[in-house]
A = this chain, B = another copy of it.
Amino acid sequence: MTKPLFAICLASAVLFFSLPGNAADPLPSWNETESKKAIVAFVQRVTTKGSPDFIPAGKRIATFDNDGCLWSEKPLYFQMLFVIDRVKQLAPMHPEWNRTQPFQAVLEGDQETLAAAGNAGLMQLLLATHAGMTTDAFADTVRDWLQTARHPQLNRPYTELVFQPMLELLDYLRASGFKTYIVSGGGIESLRVFAEEVYGIPPTQVVGSRIKTKYEVRDGMPVLVRLPEIDFIDDKEGKPVGIQQHIGQRPVFAAGNSDGDFQMLQWTTSGEGASFGLLVHHDDGAREWAYDRDSHVGKLDRGLNEAAALGWTVISMRHDWKVVYPSR
């Protein structure tokens, strides 16, 4: 190939590959509000060579909470919905659960007793449904559950209750050289089952809560067995710890929606150089749910109080988003 021809090819390739990011609107489901402008301005500032806020590609780390940030978390966090369904599913093999709390409360739908059982009760339920099998068997269980379970009020699969504007934000950041991570209080092995298909986030970019596992060889075949013991809780002060364990770098972009994400945003936005903190505010009772300071699930109080002073962007679902869920 002659030199000029090669130059034409190169120029056309550059044009071809840069078209999607520049010409088209990267966030079509976002209204033209201050929130969208702030996101786009940040991405442009940190990806423009020569800009004082330029961040090299290897340091463009973006972390996203899952429940309430990438998908709906009402009436309960998905890990809890899974626990409740699993207790019901496994009950025939555990007749003693009919007269043992907190299992009995789950089987009878007795919310009051369940709430009274508190965190200790929650742990009992969690370990009874999440431990005692191999990692492969557990992943299969979650996969099966996601395929059949439906949201109790909306009657849709949970994986359809993702936020279309946030899917676009994930794509936009990746197209701009960011590496996107989930950093969730949910179980890491549950999240990994659907994160790649639903969010385009591979297993290695998922950070979550963990129980301990043990390597052993059974009948000549090695397996990883899930043990009934909490290893790590990826919530509140745990989120920066989980980020350091898995990523080993401070993010420059963090998105959350509850006070469980406060420390992740605080850690992200107190590093050197440019950074972005985003909180999704659930103020859309018509299209999703409206809740914040007084909610048990997804409580957002401290974040609302301090966001402005800390320079974080609070997304109003009602005002900033054209749609909430993807069209079917």
Give the distance in Å from the alpha carbon of A237 to the alpha carbon of B179 in the complex.
30
Assembly CA distance A249 to B139 (angstroms): 12
Interface check A204, CB cutoff 8 A? yes
A263 neighbours in B (Cβ, 8 Å) = 215, 222
B215–A237 CB distance below 8 A: yes
Q: Mark A243-262, 1 if CB is under 8 A from B, else 0.
A: 01111110000000000000
| Interface status of A267 (Cβ within 8 A of chain B) | yes
Quick check: which of A8-16, A111-119, A125-133, A288-296 contacts chain B, the rest being far away? A8-16
Q: Tell whether, in the assembled complex, residue B13 and residue A13 are in contact, meaning their CB atoms are under 8 Å apart.
A: yes
Contacts of A247 in B (CB 8 A): 203-204
Chain B's closest residue to A220 (CB) is B270
Shortest distance between the CB of A229 and any CB in chain B (Å): 13
- Bitwise, A54-69 to B at CB < 8 A (1) or not (0) is 0000100000000000
Complexed CA–CA distance, A179 and B13 (Å) = 26
Residues in B whose Cβ lies below 8 Å from that of A58: 196, 202
| Known contacts A222-B263, A266-B222, A204 near B249 by CB under 8 Å | yes
Structural contact, A222 and B192, CB atoms closer than 8 A: no
Q: How far is the CA of A93 from the CA of B188 in the complex (A)?
A: 42
Q: Which residues of B contact A266 (CB under 8 A)?
A: 217, 222
CB contacts under 8 Å to B, within A185-205, are 188-189, 192, 196, 202-205
Q: How far is the CB of A303 from chain B (nearest CB, A)?
A: 15
The verdict on A281 contacting chain B, using a C-beta distance below 8 Å, is no
Given contacts A9-B12, A266-B222, contact A214 B237 (CB under 8 A): yes
| CB–CB A192/B224 < 8 A | no
Are A240 and B267 neighbours in the complex by a CB distance under 8 Å? Answer: no
Say which residue of B210, B221, B270 sits within 8 Å of A245 (CB atoms).
B210
Whether A206 sits at the interface, judged by CB under 8 Å, is yes
A224 touches B248 (CB 8 A): no
Q: Once bound together, how far apart are the Cα atoms of A238 and B5, in whole Å?
A: 55
Contact yes or no, A222 B267, CB < 8 A: yes
- By the criterion CB–CB under 8 Å, are A241 and B267 in contact? no
Instruction: Write out the residue numbers on chain B whose beta carbons fall within 8 Å of the beta carbon of A192.
Output: 248
A313 close to chain B: CB less than 8 A: no
User: In the complex, what distance in Å separates the CA atom of A241 from the CA atom of B6?
Assistant: 49
- B204, B210, B221: the one contacting A270 at CB < 8 Å is B221
For A196, the chain B residues whose CB sits under 8 A away are 58
**12 A-B contacts (beta carbon < 8 Å):** A5-B8, A6-B12, A9-B13, A58-B196, A179-B204, A203-B247, A204-B247, A210-B245, A215-B237, A215-B238, A215-B241, A222-B266
Which residues of A line the B interface, CB within 8 A? 1, 5-6, 8-9, 12-13, 58, 135, 179, 188-189, 192, 196, 202-206, 210, 213-217, 221-222, 224, 237-241, 244-249, 263, 266-267, 270
Pairs A-B, 8 closest by C-beta atoms: A203-B248, A9-B9, A215-B237, A215-B240, A192-B248, A204-B247, A222-B267, A1-B12
